[in-house]
Amino acid sequence: MDTAPAPLVEVRGLSNRFGGHRVHEDLDMDLNRGEILGVVGGSGSGKSVLLRSIIGLHEPNNGRISLEGTALDHRGAPDPRLTRRTGVLFQRGALYSSLTLCENISLPLREKAGLGKADAEALALTRIRLTGLEAKTARLYPEALSGGMVKRAALARALALDPDLLFLDEPTAGLDPISAAAFDELILTLRDALGLTVFLVTHDLDTLHRVCDRVAVLGQGHVMTIGTLDEVANMDDEWIRAYFHGARGRAALRQSSTNRESA
Protein backbone atom coordinates (compact mmCIF):
# COMPACT_ATOMS: atom_id res chain seq x y z
CA MET A 1 0.00 0.00 0.00
CA ASP A 2 1.44 3.38 -1.05
CA THR A 3 1.92 5.92 1.70
CA ALA A 4 2.08 9.62 0.94
CA PRO A 5 5.33 11.24 2.07
CA ALA A 6 5.15 13.27 5.27
CA PRO A 7 4.94 17.07 4.85
CA LEU A 8 8.17 18.98 5.14
CA VAL A 9 6.48 21.66 7.27
CA GLU A 10 3.32 21.11 9.30
CA VAL A 11 1.25 23.86 10.94
CA ARG A 12 -1.32 22.66 13.45
CA GLY A 13 -3.81 24.62 15.52
CA LEU A 14 -2.12 27.97 14.88
CA SER A 15 -3.72 30.99 16.52
CA ASN A 16 -2.61 34.62 16.18
CA ARG A 17 -4.39 37.43 17.97
CA PHE A 18 -3.47 41.09 18.25
CA GLY A 19 -5.36 42.50 21.20
CA GLY A 20 -8.98 41.63 20.55
CA HIS A 21 -8.41 41.07 16.84
CA ARG A 22 -8.24 37.45 15.72
CA VAL A 23 -6.08 36.86 12.64
CA HIS A 24 -5.78 33.06 12.80
CA GLU A 25 -7.70 30.57 14.90
CA ASP A 26 -6.89 26.85 14.89
CA LEU A 27 -5.23 27.04 11.46
CA ASP A 28 -3.80 23.87 9.87
CA MET A 29 -1.54 23.73 6.81
CA ASP A 30 1.02 21.39 5.23
CA LEU A 31 3.93 22.31 2.97
CA ASN A 32 5.13 19.34 0.93
CA ARG A 33 8.72 18.76 -0.10
CA GLY A 34 9.55 20.11 -3.56
CA GLU A 35 6.29 21.96 -4.15
CA ILE A 36 5.52 25.60 -4.75
CA LEU A 37 2.59 26.46 -2.49
CA GLY A 38 0.80 29.71 -3.28
CA VAL A 39 -0.95 31.40 -0.35
CA VAL A 40 -3.73 33.88 -1.12
CA GLY A 41 -6.47 35.62 0.81
CA GLY A 42 -8.20 38.93 1.27
CA SER A 43 -6.68 41.94 2.98
CA GLY A 44 -6.19 41.18 6.67
CA SER A 45 -6.42 37.40 6.24
CA GLY A 46 -2.95 37.02 7.74
CA LYS A 47 -0.85 35.78 4.83
CA SER A 48 2.33 37.56 5.91
CA VAL A 49 1.62 36.86 9.59
CA LEU A 50 1.45 33.16 8.77
CA LEU A 51 4.77 33.32 6.92
CA ARG A 52 6.42 35.18 9.81
CA SER A 53 4.98 32.69 12.30
CA ILE A 54 6.44 29.73 10.42
CA ILE A 55 9.93 31.21 10.12
CA GLY A 56 9.96 32.40 13.74
CA LEU A 57 9.74 36.16 13.34
CA HIS A 58 6.38 36.20 15.10
CA GLU A 59 5.46 34.06 18.09
CA PRO A 60 1.87 32.79 17.77
CA ASN A 61 -0.53 32.63 20.69
CA ASN A 62 -1.11 28.91 20.22
CA GLY A 63 -0.27 26.06 17.89
CA ARG A 64 2.56 23.85 16.73
CA ILE A 65 4.90 24.20 13.76
CA SER A 66 6.94 21.12 12.82
CA LEU A 67 9.82 20.51 10.44
CA GLU A 68 10.01 16.92 9.17
CA GLY A 69 7.82 15.79 12.07
CA THR A 70 9.83 17.52 14.81
CA ALA A 71 8.22 20.48 16.59
CA LEU A 72 10.09 23.77 16.27
CA ASP A 73 10.74 26.02 19.25
CA HIS A 74 10.33 29.66 18.22
CA ARG A 75 10.01 31.03 21.76
CA GLY A 76 12.08 34.20 21.87
CA ALA A 77 13.90 33.59 18.57
CA PRO A 78 13.66 31.58 15.33
CA ASP A 79 14.59 27.92 15.76
CA PRO A 80 18.09 27.36 14.27
CA ARG A 81 16.96 24.00 12.87
CA LEU A 82 14.75 25.96 10.48
CA THR A 83 16.76 29.14 9.97
CA ARG A 84 19.83 27.35 8.64
CA ARG A 85 17.67 25.74 5.95
CA THR A 86 15.56 28.78 5.10
CA GLY A 87 15.84 31.74 2.76
CA VAL A 88 13.35 34.63 2.87
CA LEU A 89 12.47 37.28 0.31
CA PHE A 90 10.58 40.05 2.06
CA GLN A 91 7.94 42.07 0.28
CA ARG A 92 10.02 45.20 -0.36
CA GLY A 93 13.35 43.44 -0.63
CA ALA A 94 14.61 44.65 2.79
CA LEU A 95 18.10 45.30 1.40
CA TYR A 96 20.45 47.45 3.48
CA SER A 97 20.63 50.78 1.66
CA SER A 98 24.12 51.55 2.97
CA LEU A 99 25.61 48.31 1.57
CA THR A 100 26.32 47.33 -2.02
CA LEU A 101 24.51 44.37 -3.51
CA CYS A 102 27.60 42.21 -2.98
CA GLU A 103 27.85 43.33 0.64
CA ASN A 104 24.15 42.64 1.23
CA ILE A 105 24.54 39.06 0.03
CA SER A 106 27.92 38.55 1.71
CA LEU A 107 26.58 39.57 5.12
CA PRO A 108 24.78 36.30 6.01
CA LEU A 109 27.71 34.32 4.60
CA ARG A 110 30.10 36.10 6.94
CA GLU A 111 27.85 36.31 10.01
CA LYS A 112 26.14 32.91 9.85
CA ALA A 113 28.55 30.75 7.83
CA GLY A 114 31.71 32.33 9.22
CA LEU A 115 33.33 32.88 5.83
CA GLY A 116 36.10 35.37 5.26
CA LYS A 117 35.51 38.47 3.16
CA ALA A 118 37.01 37.12 -0.07
CA ASP A 119 35.19 33.76 0.08
CA ALA A 120 31.90 35.42 1.02
CA GLU A 121 32.14 37.86 -1.89
CA ALA A 122 33.01 35.07 -4.33
CA LEU A 123 29.93 33.10 -3.27
CA ALA A 124 27.80 36.25 -3.33
CA LEU A 125 28.80 36.77 -6.95
CA THR A 126 27.61 33.26 -7.86
CA ARG A 127 24.24 33.98 -6.24
CA ILE A 128 23.98 37.24 -8.17
CA ARG A 129 24.57 35.43 -11.44
CA LEU A 130 22.23 32.62 -10.42
CA THR A 131 19.33 35.05 -10.23
CA GLY A 132 20.03 36.50 -13.69
CA LEU A 133 21.78 39.72 -12.66
CA GLU A 134 24.99 40.83 -14.32
CA ALA A 135 28.20 40.64 -12.30
CA LYS A 136 28.67 44.42 -12.55
CA THR A 137 25.56 44.98 -10.39
CA ALA A 138 27.49 43.58 -7.41
CA ARG A 139 29.02 47.00 -6.69
CA LEU A 140 25.77 48.93 -6.99
CA TYR A 141 23.76 50.21 -4.04
CA PRO A 142 20.03 49.35 -3.78
CA GLU A 143 18.99 52.88 -4.79
CA ALA A 144 20.61 52.31 -8.20
CA LEU A 145 18.60 49.16 -8.89
CA SER A 146 15.28 48.95 -10.72
CA GLY A 147 12.29 47.30 -9.07
CA GLY A 148 12.90 44.02 -10.89
CA MET A 149 16.59 44.10 -10.01
CA VAL A 150 15.76 44.67 -6.33
CA LYS A 151 13.58 41.56 -6.36
CA ARG A 152 16.36 39.49 -7.93
CA ALA A 153 18.92 40.94 -5.53
CA ALA A 154 16.71 40.07 -2.57
CA LEU A 155 16.28 36.57 -3.99
CA ALA A 156 20.06 36.25 -4.34
CA ARG A 157 20.42 37.11 -0.66
CA ALA A 158 17.68 34.62 0.26
CA LEU A 159 19.71 31.94 -1.55
CA ALA A 160 23.02 32.97 0.04
CA LEU A 161 23.20 30.08 2.52
CA ASP A 162 22.02 27.44 0.05
CA PRO A 163 18.61 26.83 1.66
CA ASP A 164 16.18 24.09 0.70
CA LEU A 165 13.17 26.08 1.96
CA LEU A 166 12.32 29.40 0.33
CA PHE A 167 9.72 31.85 1.65
CA LEU A 168 8.61 34.58 -0.76
CA ASP A 169 6.36 37.46 0.32
CA GLU A 170 4.68 39.08 -2.70
CA PRO A 171 7.71 38.57 -4.96
CA THR A 172 6.12 40.13 -8.07
CA ALA A 173 4.34 43.03 -6.37
CA GLY A 174 5.07 46.31 -8.14
CA LEU A 175 6.65 44.70 -11.19
CA ASP A 176 5.48 45.27 -14.75
CA PRO A 177 3.94 42.21 -16.46
CA ILE A 178 7.09 41.32 -18.41
CA SER A 179 9.34 41.52 -15.34
CA ALA A 180 6.81 39.60 -13.25
CA ALA A 181 6.62 36.81 -15.84
CA ALA A 182 10.41 36.60 -15.99
CA PHE A 183 10.59 36.39 -12.20
CA ASP A 184 8.01 33.61 -12.18
CA GLU A 185 10.09 31.63 -14.66
CA LEU A 186 13.16 32.21 -12.50
CA ILE A 187 11.38 30.75 -9.47
CA LEU A 188 10.44 27.64 -11.45
CA THR A 189 13.96 27.23 -12.80
CA LEU A 190 15.56 27.58 -9.37
CA ARG A 191 13.04 25.23 -7.75
CA ASP A 192 13.85 22.53 -10.30
CA ALA A 193 17.62 23.13 -10.37
CA LEU A 194 18.15 23.46 -6.61
CA GLY A 195 15.43 21.16 -5.30
CA LEU A 196 13.71 23.96 -3.40
CA THR A 197 10.43 23.89 -1.52
CA VAL A 198 8.66 27.25 -1.87
CA PHE A 199 6.06 28.99 0.30
CA LEU A 200 4.81 31.89 -1.82
CA VAL A 201 2.49 34.63 -0.55
CA THR A 202 0.96 36.44 -3.51
CA HIS A 203 -2.07 38.20 -4.89
CA ASP A 204 -0.84 37.79 -8.48
CA LEU A 205 -3.19 35.52 -10.39
CA ASP A 206 -0.70 35.09 -13.22
CA THR A 207 1.89 33.82 -10.73
CA LEU A 208 -0.61 31.31 -9.34
CA HIS A 209 -1.24 29.96 -12.82
CA ARG A 210 2.40 29.92 -13.89
CA VAL A 211 4.25 28.41 -10.96
CA CYS A 212 2.12 27.02 -8.13
CA ASP A 213 1.58 23.30 -7.62
CA ARG A 214 -1.06 23.96 -4.96
CA VAL A 215 -2.91 27.00 -3.66
CA ALA A 216 -4.10 27.70 -0.11
CA VAL A 217 -6.82 30.28 0.52
CA LEU A 218 -6.84 32.01 3.91
CA GLY A 219 -10.03 33.45 5.32
CA GLN A 220 -12.11 33.56 8.49
CA GLY A 221 -9.03 32.80 10.54
CA HIS A 222 -8.09 29.50 8.91
CA VAL A 223 -7.29 27.76 5.63
CA MET A 224 -10.59 27.78 3.76
CA THR A 225 -9.35 25.35 1.11
CA ILE A 226 -6.11 23.99 -0.28
CA GLY A 227 -5.47 22.05 -3.47
CA THR A 228 -4.61 22.46 -7.11
CA LEU A 229 -5.63 25.73 -8.71
CA ASP A 230 -8.54 24.07 -10.51
CA GLU A 231 -9.77 22.44 -7.30
CA VAL A 232 -9.59 25.68 -5.35
CA ALA A 233 -11.10 27.86 -8.07
CA ASN A 234 -14.16 25.58 -8.29
CA MET A 235 -14.97 25.78 -4.57
CA ASP A 236 -18.44 27.17 -3.88
CA ASP A 237 -17.51 30.30 -1.93
CA GLU A 238 -18.36 33.91 -2.69
CA TRP A 239 -14.85 35.34 -2.16
CA ILE A 240 -13.19 32.53 -4.11
CA ARG A 241 -15.61 32.97 -7.03
CA ALA A 242 -14.97 36.72 -7.10
CA TYR A 243 -11.20 36.26 -6.88
CA PHE A 244 -10.68 33.46 -9.39
CA HIS A 245 -13.60 34.09 -11.75
CA GLY A 246 -13.67 37.88 -11.87
CA ALA A 247 -12.33 39.83 -14.85
CA ARG A 248 -8.69 39.50 -13.79
CA GLY A 249 -9.08 35.84 -12.95
CA ARG A 250 -10.58 35.10 -16.36
CA ALA A 251 -7.78 37.04 -18.07
CA ALA A 252 -5.14 35.08 -16.13
CA LEU A 253 -6.85 31.81 -17.05
CA ARG A 254 -6.91 32.74 -20.76
CA GLN A 255 -3.23 33.67 -20.65
CA SER A 256 -2.36 30.43 -18.87
CA SER A 257 -4.23 28.42 -21.50
CA THR A 258 -2.43 30.30 -24.28
CA ASN A 259 0.95 29.61 -22.65
CA ARG A 260 0.23 25.90 -22.35
CA GLU A 261 -0.86 25.66 -26.00
CA SER A 262 2.29 27.44 -27.22
CA ALA A 263 4.65 25.42 -24.97
For residue 1, name the pLDDT band (cuts at 50, 70, 90).
Answer: very low
State the burial class of residue 12 (Cβ atoms within 10 Å of its Cβ: 0-12, 13-18, 19+).
Answer: middle
Q: Mean pLDDT over residues 207-224, rounded? A: 95
pTM: 0.90
Output the pLDDT for position 225.
95
Q: Which amino acid belongs to residue 71?
A: A
| Whole-number pLDDT of residue 254 | 54
**Average pLDDT of the segment spanning 117-133:** 94
Neighbours of 192 (CB within 10 A): 10
Task: Give percent of the chain above pLDDT 90.
Answer: 71
Amino acid at 219: G
Check whether 2 has a pLDDT greater than 80.
no
Mean residue pLDDT of the chain comes to 90
User: What residue ranges define each of the domains in the chain, with the CATH number in brackets?
Assistant: 7-261 (3.40.50.300)
| pLDDT-based confidence at residue 187 (cuts at 50, 70, 90) | very high
User: Is pLDDT above 70 for 3?
Assistant: no
pLDDT of 262 over the 90 cut:
no
The per-residue pLDDT for range 54-101, each reduced to its tens digit, is 999 999 999 999 999 999 988 878 888 888 899 999 887 789 999 999
Q: What is the pLDDT of residue 257?
A: 52
Statement: residue 191 has pLDDT above 60 = yes
